[in-house]
Structure 1
Amino acid sequence: MKPLRLAHQTALLLAAAFLGVELLASLSFAAFIMLPLAQRSTDDLAGLMILAAQTWVELPPETRPAFEHELMDNYQLALRAEPAGQGRDEWHPPYFYLLEAALSRRLGESRHLASERIGDVIWYWADIPTGAGMLAVGLPRARLATQPYSAIALALGGGFALASGFAWWLAQRISAPLARFEAAAIRIGEGEYPELLLETGPAEIVSLARRFNALACQVHHLLSARTTLLAGVSHDLRTPFARMRLALEMLRSNPSPALIERLERDIEEMNALIATLFDLARGLEREPPQESDLAILFNELAEMAATAGRQISMHCPPCPRPIARHALQRALSNLLDNALRHAPVGPIELVCVEDKGSCRLGVLDRGPGIPPERIESMFEPFQRLESSRSPQTGGVGLGLAIVRELARVNGWQVRLEPRPGGGLVAWVEIPAKSGWQGRGRP
């Protein structure tokens, strides 16, 4: 059986709830308001019937017709000397059951009304004992213009119709944002980039739309990065493959150590590219934080760079904090490698600045820098300032992409800024308690 849509389920539940509330209200109104009023009314009417019978008996015969006319005109009660006969326990409108009970209480004995059709009117008669015997007192059924069953049925039917309409409108209003989420999710599943959802409505819908939009942007970014990654890999592998094919052809006719050495260099270049891609993929994995001193981490990076013959100055006081140590080391190593590659001369500085529990880690160089309009694009995979993509003039263009991915996973911020006086400043900003605020996988 196909499950009902959310709008249908919500409409049915709301309509049932409204109907239940209306039914409970109707029953409460009938039990606590209508019934006491009806009991009081029938008790007064029973007293009036008994008083009318007793008064009629005590009046002189010549005044009785005038009294009967007055009763009919003012109270719609009729009197006759003939007894009504034995009443039967038959179905009456609810009001007449209460009248029977009121007469029984006042007379001290059970009384049932006797029904009689006179013309087109149904009359109800009761025998009232008097000093002169039994006197029949009657009233027409039309005396009571109320129709409680019809009123309750109309109230329930109309209320159910109104409740159903309102429930359907409310269900559509509730499910409409979910329908938009479903349509957008289908588009994402088909590889398209949907329009961002409106962040309006109740707080829960706004929060859900905001998170969905962020997810859609992340998916779009990942799809774009995948396309760029595949294009870059195919491009960067094509060149060493072509050189290797040429070297193999030449080895067949003229084997030489130089050709074999060229093959080894091409293999190393391809291996370095694949290793870098693995680094980028590992950036998606979240690393648990551990207590580390950033000054010690900076000192290790400076010693590694010193082995390459470069002098690194470091300005970092002791700064212990819980961080994803290996991820941060990889990010700073990539930034330092970029500085060493693009700033072959001039000093390189490692700086740590603390501010209200957070800290900024900077790698400062005096290289050519990056034009401000190109800074953001440098974080995309395979982006390089130098367009020849030669390994002699730069890397494969994945270093900054790896740094940004590591920062995203661990809740950091990374940014590049032109350095006053020339050069570039690369900052990694770690907020307070960043070890517990990583964002994990998208």
Structure 2
Amino acid sequence: MKRITRSLFARTALTLALAFIVFQAAAFWVVTRTLIVPVAERSADDLAGLVVLSAQTWVELPPQTRAAFERELARRHGLRLTTIDVGATADAPHFAFRTQIEDALSRRVGDAVELRGVPGTAAAWLDIPLGGHDLRVGFFPDRYAVKLPLAAIAVIAVGAFLSLLTALFLVRRITVPLARAAAAASQVGAGELPEPLPETGPAELAELARRFNKMAAEVRELLDNRTTLLAGISHDLRTPMTRLQLNLEMLRDAPSTARIDRAVADLADMNKLITGYLELARTTQAETKVRFDLAGLLEEVAADMGLTWPSAVPCEVEAGRLAVRQIVSNLIQNAQRYGGGMPIELVLECADKQARVIVRDAGKGIPDDQLERVFRPFYRLEASRSQATGGTGLGLAIVRQLAESNGWKVRLKNRAAGGLEAVLEMPR
């Protein structure tokens, strides 16, 4: 029970229920004080005035006409006027606004009036000493008592009930997706990939579901990359380590400069692989942004990579300088490796809100159905694992993760004239 009351739906429902109860009570009080009670007091005063006026008229009438007056008074106004003791010894029946009627009669008569009743009847009686006569006046409360405005009360109650149901419906529309997102988050925390959340409903909840689905996919991809990374380390390091161990064993019996050179080459290969793994592992964190000239950075990269870079108009951007440098370097290196020895083209397009760095080669390109797959860690179009025919398969994976962690976009597309075009897009 405690767990249920701690939920957002239960707390919101209880809060709304309390608010509507308070609202209904306040509305009833306002209607009562501003409408029901004033009407009741006016009706009570009118009844008291009719009673006193009828008694005074009866006293002033000739005795032979009083009986007719009594009958007419009973027929028209439901009042009984008599000098006979009717036996009103009991308390009068309780009815709404009895107090207001007694107060009004007391003011008119000039003395405290307490309504009495005859056992077994619904009439209320009062005594009025007037003109030497003890007059007894009776009336039926159902005719003169102000009725409670049941229609108004019903409207308020139904309105509050419908408002409460509507509020609970809206709250449930909010809390159910949140509960579903919480359950899915628990699955993500356990390393599972939950079913995508429905991206429907209010704009805020749909956006929350959309971002959560993206986050869950990224987490799953990160876990897959970690598994692939460990598998790649195990696979790619095993071959040079085996060669290195073999060369070291053979050096025991026959020292050779060539074997030492091969051992050193194997160590270099392992160092290169480990460096790539560490670079991939570091790409999940965004670099601190600084303001720098992108054209100047590309000039430095082009010089380091042996490319001819024409002068370009300065293009100020705010981004991670090292991340941009590594992405462009990896794209150029990839173009040099698979560009068929043809010249590499490096282009900078600087717009008001966006900067685009384009690397073009004239190689064979990539099949359209594999343009996204090449961004996976260790994925290579070349089937062998030889360092002579290709890299480690981490270059484009590093590019994609660096771009995503910094909020940039990297895409590949085949050129109509042949070759591949890699585009890095970043806001200025």
- The two structures have a TM-score, normalised by structure 2, of 0.88
Report the equivalent of 2:376: 380
Q: What does residue 332 of structure 2 align with?
A: 336
Match of 1:436 in 2: none
Alpha-carbon contact 1:334-1:403 (below 8 Å) kept: yes
| Cα distance per residue 1:351-399 (max 9 Å; x no partner) | 1122344222122223333222222111111111111111111110111
Which amino acid is 2:313 matched to? P
Contact kept? 1:127, 1:137, Cα under 8 Å: yes
1:44, CA displacement in angstroms?
Answer: 0.8
Is 2:251 the partner of 1:266?
no
Aligned residues: 426
Deviation at 1:273, TM superposition (A): 1.2
Kindly report the root-mean-square deviation, in angstroms, between the aligned alpha carbons of the 2 structures: 3.1
Tell me if structure 1 keeps the 8 A contact 2:58–2:69: yes
**Offset at residue 287 of structure 1 (A):** 2.0
**How many angstroms apart in 2 are the aligned matches of 1:383 and 1:316?**
35
Cα distance in structure 1, aligned partners of 2:166 and 2:400: 51
Query: In the alignment, what sits opposite 1:116?
Result: 117
Could you tell me how far 1:156 is from its partner in structure 2? 8.4
Equivalent residues of 1:83, 1:127 under 8 A apart: no
Out of 33, 51, 59, the position equivalent to 1:49 is 51
Report the AA paired with residue 118 of structure 2.
R
SS of residue in 1 equivalent to 2:118: strand
- Using the TM superposition, give the Cα deviation of residue 315 of structure 1 relative to its aligned residue in structure 2, in angstroms: 5.6
- Describe the SS at the equivalent of 2:380: coil
Change (3 A) 1:296 1:165: closer
Q: Give the corresponding residue for 2:16.
A: 14
CA displacement 1:48-68 (0-9 Å, x = unmatched): 101111122222323323322
* Equivalent residues of 1:317, 1:352 under 8 A apart: no
Aligned-residue offset at 1:148? 3.9
Note closer, same or farther for the CA distance 1:335–1:165 as it changes in structure 2 (3 Å cut).
closer
Q: Distance in 2 between matches of 1:272 and 1:344?
A: 23
Q: Distance between the aligned counterparts of 2:266 and 2:344, measured in 1?
A: 31
Q: CA deviation at 1:146?
A: 6.0
Alignment CA distance shift 1:293-1:366 (3 Å): same
Which of residues 102, 105, 108 is equivalent to 1:106? 108
Residues 398-437 of structure 1 mapped to structure 2, 5 A cutoff: 398-431=394-427, 433=428
Q: 1:38 aligns with which of 37, 40, 44?
A: 40
Secondary structure of 1:137's counterpart equals: strand
Q: Which moved more, 1:247-256 or 1:56-65?
A: 247-256
Residue 389, structure 1, aligned to residue 385, structure 2? yes
| Greater alpha carbon shift after TM alignment, 245-254 vs 259-268 | 245-254
CA contact (8 A) 1:335 1:400 kept: yes
In structure 1, C-alpha distance between the alignment counterparts of 2:136 and 2:42, rounded to whole Å: 22
Matches within 5 A, 1:207-356: 207-306=207-306, 311-314=307-310, 316-343=312-339, 345-356=341-352
CA contact (8 A) 1:346 1:367 kept: yes
Q: 1:114 to 1:173 in 2, by over 3 A?
A: same
Counterpart mapping for 1:70-85 below 5 A = 70-81=72-83
Residues 232 and 126 (structure 1), Cα distance of their counterparts in 2 relative to 1, 3 Å cut? same
Does 1:62 find its partner at 2:64? yes
State the Cα distance separating 1:317 from its structure 2 match.
2.9
How far apart are the structure 1 equivalents of 2:351 and 2:44?
Answer: 86
What is the distance in 2 between the residues matched to 1:145 and 1:48?
14
Q: Shift of residue 39 of structure 1?
A: 1.0
Q: What TM-score do the two structures reach when normalised by structure 1?
A: 0.86
CA contact (8 A) 1:285 1:409 kept: yes
Query: Structure 2: which amino acid aligns with 1:256?
Result: S
